[in-house]
Amino acid sequence: MKKKIFLYLLSLCLFSSCITEDIHDNTPQGNFDALWQAIDTKYCFLDYKHEEYGLDWDEVYRRYSNRLTDDMTKKQLFQVLAEMLEELRDGHVNLVSAHEISQYREWYDQYPTNFIDTIQRIYLGKDYKTTAGIKYQVLEDNIGYIYYGSFSNAIGESNLDEVLNELSICDGLILDIRNNGGGLLTMSETLAARFTNERVLTGYLRYKTGPGHNDFSSPEPVYVEPATDRVRWQKPVAVLTNRHAFSSANDFANKMRQMPNAILIGDKTGGGSGLPFSSELPNGWSIRFSASPIYDPEMNHLEFGIEPDIKVNMTSEDMQRGIDTIIETARIQLKKK
Amino acid sequence: MKRIILGLFFLWACILQANAQKDSIITRSTLYGIGHTNILDTYLSPMEYTGAELRILRENMRKTKYKDGKISRQSMFQAHISMLGNKAGTGSEFYFLANWNLAYHYQFILGENLKLLAGPNLDLNGGMIYNQRNSNNPVNAKTYANLDASGMAIYQFRIKDHPFVLRYQLNVPLIGLMFSPEYGQPYYEMSISKDFGKNICFTSLHNQPAIRQFLTLDFSIKKTNLRLGYVCDIQQAKVNHLKSHAWSHAFMIGFVKHFHLVNPYK
């Protein structure tokens, strides 16, 4: 009896199946395979980008794996992996090592900057106010101006109450998110909630439910609820965008497009509609990639940016005179309303 | 299925609580330990993280009035925290888990010094793993409840005039419910959908081959009852295409106290 019990316990200890992950070797080939597989199973835009510009992730594997050698240095390996990731054309995709962070920059490098901070300073003057990462001022023609340069700077509800109260005397509001590279998605919601009196459907969110390219959840509607018992803006608002408005700023532009009194002015946004996740390689390098796509209310992708209602670039003549063409266009549009 | 399991848990707790004996000897112990943990959670990273852990374990055992006192009740709470690093030394994770067990064992007396105990165990767990460098997947909650098969062997012996009690226990989850995000589901999505139905997964031996083992030795030094222990805590699951394991081995030391509860109104 004792012997049987002992054998039973021993078998339980020895034969309990272990749950482990197949980890690639820490070699150039192993790290390459780990990165390629992470994107293949977790990246959310492979099929969409195949349709848009013919991205073939299997072909990418063949092309870049030919560049691997057993004796290549870390920096050489990083270069190959970084170039492979650039095939995704995604500003949310980064490879992070101790010596470098890879970044796809063509989404704004190939376009006009459409934002010059020295010219912006002319509009802000010396007596502008600032709170929680927001700069604000009343322009000469009684148009309110808010600059929000990063959604990584969290704004409190009380901050927004104060700012909007201060600008409530204005005829209209310019909300400038140019060069806003994103940050907290919740800040996009918090700010957009000040520009509607009703619940507004602003888009859908999906996520991957498995490693297959088409393993996606059903679309989850995303709504903006009006901020209750808070100051809400009731007058016209112009949201200024450029190619450097990315990620959460792209999401904010999409949300504001659905608001009744809002208009988008400037250049197309930079996109970045995939909520990024992180993972890592056997050699310890970290990777970031888009994992969860956000769509507009018509289920259109926003990954490559949002076209403004009024497309306008800063002209060189205006820039030489210290004039921001996009701000001036917004002032004219707001005065018309 | 999920509702049936929840109902079973509730019924189990109610029935067993009602059978606790009021007048009995309670053995209470508190152990402190250090150990080593190996963590895998593919929601956060495909890599394993390892490091030291700190653990506390509190246990109460008493006989019940059921079956002429042959059924004992064991309540055990343990909590452990770990700071872990990946093999390359570039990433770190923080792991915390609290675990509460309520077991009722039937005693089989196999001789003067040996008895075996067997019975069901309610096994509740709550905790989290935090990865310090991840973006929108920095944390994964660890919340699950199981109905375990629990067994124990207790052997009493003497070396010269000194009494010792050697005990081995194992708990194996048979069925349960586990919270898990889906494969690439951000917690942000859960916050807007507020629908957690798809995140509650049925678990059993096929997708949660877990086991907890305890080995303890009780002895006395003067009038102090001491306990040395070893805990082998193997928690594993594979749900929603996500794999996870937490393999812990900890050595424990602490004190044992015996109380005799008396009802003054009898």
| A-to-B residue pairs, Cβ atoms closer than 8 angstroms | 131
User: Cβ distance B61 to B26 under 8 Å?
Assistant: yes
- Does the CB of B188 have a partner CB in chain A at under 8 Å? yes
Q: Residue B167: name the closest of B107, B84, B249 by CA.
A: B107
Looking at CA atoms only, how far is residue B140 from chain A in angstroms?
A: 13
Crossing angle of helices A74-86 and A57-65, rounded to 10°: 160
Which residue of chain A has the CA closest to B114?
A2
Structural domains present in chain B = 2-260 (2.40.128.100)
Architecture of the domain made up of A117-196+232-271+306-336? Alpha-Beta Complex (3.90)
Give A208's contacts in chain B (Cβ within 8 Å): 182-185
B243·A211 Cβ contact <8 A: no
pLDDT at B77: 98
Q: Is the pLDDT of residue A314 over 70?
A: yes
pLDDT category at A6 given cuts 50, 70, 90 is: low
User: Does the beta-carbon distance from A12 to B136 stay under 8 Å?
Assistant: no
User: Which among A13, A21, A208 is the top mutation candidate for probing chain B, defined by the most B β-carbons within 10 Å of its own β-carbon?
Assistant: A21
Angle at A158 between CA A152 and CA A162, to 5 degrees: 105
Nearest one of A281, A197, A311, A274 to A27, comparing CA atoms: A281
Contact A279 B46 (CB under 8 A): yes
Amino acid B194: pLDDT = 80
The answer to pTM > 0.95 is: no
Nearest to A148 by CA among A225, A61, A245, A52: A245
Which helix (H) or strand (E) element contains residue B124? strand B114-131
Show pLDDT as tens, one digit a residue, over chain B (266 residues). Answer: 656 665 665 555 555 555 555 557 899 999 999 999 999 999 999 999 999 999 999 999 998 888 888 999 999 999 999 999 999 999 999 999 999 999 999 999 999 899 999 999 999 999 999 999 999 999 999 999 999 999 999 999 999 989 999 999 999 999 999 999 999 999 999 998 887 878 999 999 999 999 999 999 999 998 899 999 999 999 999 999 999 999 999 999 999 998 876 666 65
pLDDT in tens, A23-79: 999 999 999 999 999 999 999 999 999 999 999 999 999 999 999 999 999 999 999
Q: Does B209 touch chain A (CB under 8 A)?
A: yes
Taking CB atoms and an 8 Å limit, are B131 and A18 in contact across chains? no
Residue A292 CA from chain centroid, whole number: 11
Name residue, tokens 């210290």: A322
Chain B contacts of A38, Cβ < 8 Å? Answer: 46
Distance, in Å, from the CA atom of A81 to the CA atom of A72, rounded to the nearest integer, reads 12
Residue A135 has phi, psi (to 5 degrees) of: -110, 140
Q: B133–A276: do the CB atoms touch at under 8 Å? A: no
Would the CB atoms of B243 and A278 count as touching at under 8 Å? no
> Which residues of chain B does A222 touch, with a Cβ-Cβ cutoff of 8 Å?
192
CB B176 within 8 A of CB B5: yes
- Where are the CATH 3.30.750.44 domain residues in chain A? 1-105+204-222+274-297
Residues of B in contact with A288 (CB under 8 A): 135
State the pLDDT confidence band at A14, using cuts at 50, 70 and 90.
Answer: very low
Q: Min CA distance, A28 vs chain B (Å)?
A: 15
Which residue do the tokens 């309110």 mark? A144
Residue B23 or residue A241, greater confidence: A241
pLDDT higher than 90, residue A9: no
CATH number listed for the domain at residues A1-105+204-222+274-297 = 3.30.750.44
Residue B119 and residue A313 in contact, taking contact as beta carbons nearer than 8 Å? no
B139 touching A (Cβ < 8 Å): no
Q: Which of the two residues, B141 and A17, has the higher pLDDT score?
A: B141
Contact A291 B46 (CB under 8 A): no
- pLDDT for B43-64, tens place per residue? 999 999 999 999 999 999 998 8
Closest CA of chain A from B128, distance in Å: 17
Q: Which pair of structure tokens corresponds to residue B91? A: 């990433």
Per-residue model confidence (pLDDT) at position B257? 94
